[in-house]
Amino acid sequence: MGVSKVLISEVGPRDGLQNCGSVMPFQEKMRWIRALASAGLREIEVGSFVSPKVLPQMADTADVVVEARKIDGLEIAVLVPNLKGAELAVKAGAAKITLPLSVSETHSLRNIRQTHDQVIAQAVAIVAMLKDLPVGQRPYFEGSLSTAFGCTIEGPIPERQILRLAERLLDAGCDEIGLSDTTGYGDPHSVRHLIRAVRGVIGDDKVTGVHLHNTRGLGLANALAAYDEGISTFDSSLGGLGGCPTAPGASGNIVTEDLVFMFESMGIDTGVDLDALIACREILAGAMPEEELYGFVPRAGLPLGFKGAPVPVAVE
């Protein structure tokens, strides 16, 4: 049973830009983020605290977080690979941090150079660090199960391994466990099944978000399947920008414009102004002209008379 309102978490400034060959200038990045927020996106993953030698596109993440904090009503999310990254995220003022734990250990070693045990140890250390902070200064801490639906290096991952890693992240103290289709291997059946399986071991309230890719054209179908399971937070990227540099063949995210249109067409409130969202593409295209942008809705336009989800009427 789906919910009447969903949260679209825009990950383009992180997952999108990390896969680009060039670096988006800071001022253009902030112009883009402000436009996304003005369009109604309430959560934006603005970057990751990784070594600039590995991902020069993310070298200005701390400055982006500081500047983005000036945007009223915006939840600022970042990705962190370890305790050091989490400390930098806290110092900059991020509201949400995500630690990726690839269920494929081979991918984990290539992506963040850590074994499963080492990532769990980082999670424990991050939780201990967060507990020393005043309650109002503690960012929300998500542990994300990457390559959860399959890995381009290892192939299918045994379900018992995925469930055990979910339990270990929760035991380490993560607030929530996210499911990530890093390689675009998922299909509606596997999405429904894994959501149910992981919730079965850690609880329904600990799995509320998914990160899906559109590698094989099933992104929206998978999002709808997740929605039907009660998932309420969906990662996506403007123009479908993105992918994983350390997972061969892993291409872009779900197109934010298409995802918002699907939900709004169904009467499900996203809080996003589609016209304003589509206009954000001009900023991205102008700053990154060499990048191909995807999306059916931006090219076809909105249907004549389209109004989106109805505004709920308050009952007194």
CATH number of the domain to which 33 belongs: 3.20.20.70
Q: What is the pLDDT of residues 230-277, one digit of tens each?
A: 999 999 999 999 765 555 554 689 999 999 999 999 999 999 999 999
Q: Confirm whether 314 is domain-assigned.
A: no
Could you please report the per-residue DSSP string of the chain? ---SB-EEEE-IIIIIGGG-SS---HHHHHHHHHHHHHTT--EEEEEE---TTT-GGGTTHHHHHHHHTTSTTPEEEEE-SSHHHHHHHHHHT-SEEEEEEESSHHHHHHHHS--HHHHHHHHHHHHHHHHTS-GGGPPEEEEEEETTT-BTTTBS--HHHHHHHHHHHHHHT-SEEEEE-TTS---HHHHHHHHHHHHHHH-GGG--EEE-B-TTS-HHHHHHHHHHTT--EEEEBGGG----TTSTT--PBPBHHHHHHHHHHTT-B----HHHHHHHHHHHHHH-TTS----HHHHH-PPTT---SPPPPP--
Q: Confirm whether 19 is domain-assigned.
A: yes
pLDDT at position 314? 43
Residue 175 half-sphere exposure, CB side, CA atoms within 13 Å?
14
Q: Confirm whether 316 is domain-assigned.
A: no
pLDDT at position 98? 98
244 catalytic, yes or no?
Answer: yes
Q: Confirm whether 285 is domain-assigned.
A: yes
- pTM, rounded to two decimals: 0.94
**C-alpha distances in Å from residue 40, one per residue of 17, 27, 34, 120:** 21, 20, 10, 35
Q: Confirm whether 305 is domain-assigned.
A: no
Count of domains for the chain: 1
d(CA 203, CA 194) in angstroms, rounded, equals 13
Cα 179 to chain centroid distance, Å, stands at: 10
Q: Confirm whether 231 is domain-assigned.
A: yes
Look over the chain and give the mean of its residue pLDDT values, rounded to a whole number.
Answer: 93
pLDDT at position 315? 42
Q: Are 58 and 52 in contact (CB under 8 A)?
A: yes
Q: Are 147 and 118 in contact (CB under 8 A)?
A: no
Domain hosting residue 63, numbered range: 7-300
Q: Confirm whether 306 is domain-assigned.
A: no
pLDDT at position 251? 62
How many degrees, rounded to 5, is the angle at CA 44 between CA 173 and CA 262? 105
Q: What is the pLDDT of residues 175-199, one digit of tens each?
A: 999 999 998 999 999 999 999 999 9
- Check the CA dihedral 25-28-34-38 and report its sign: negative
d(CA 185, CA 47) in angstroms, rounded, equals 24
Q: Which of 151, 174, 244, 280 is catalytic?
A: 244
Digit-by-digit pLDDT tens for the chain (316 residues) are 577 899 999 999 999 999 888 999 999 999 999 999 999 999 999 999 999 998 999 999 999 999 999 999 999 999 999 999 999 999 999 999 999 999 999 999 988 899 999 999 999 999 999 999 998 899 999 999 999 999 988 999 999 999 999 999 999 999 999 999 998 999 999 999 999 999 999 999 999 999 999 999 999 999 999 999 999 999 999 999 976 555 555 468 999 999 999 999 999 999 999 999 999 999 999 999 999 999 999 999 999 999 888 745 444 4
d(CA 166, CA 160) in angstroms, rounded, equals 10
d(CA 218, CA 191) in angstroms, rounded, equals 11
pLDDT at position 206? 98
Q: Confirm whether 310 is domain-assigned.
A: no
Residue percentage of the chain with pLDDT more than 90 = 86
> What are the structure tokens assigned to 235, written together?
């990662």
d(CA 75, CA 277) in angstroms, rounded, equals 17
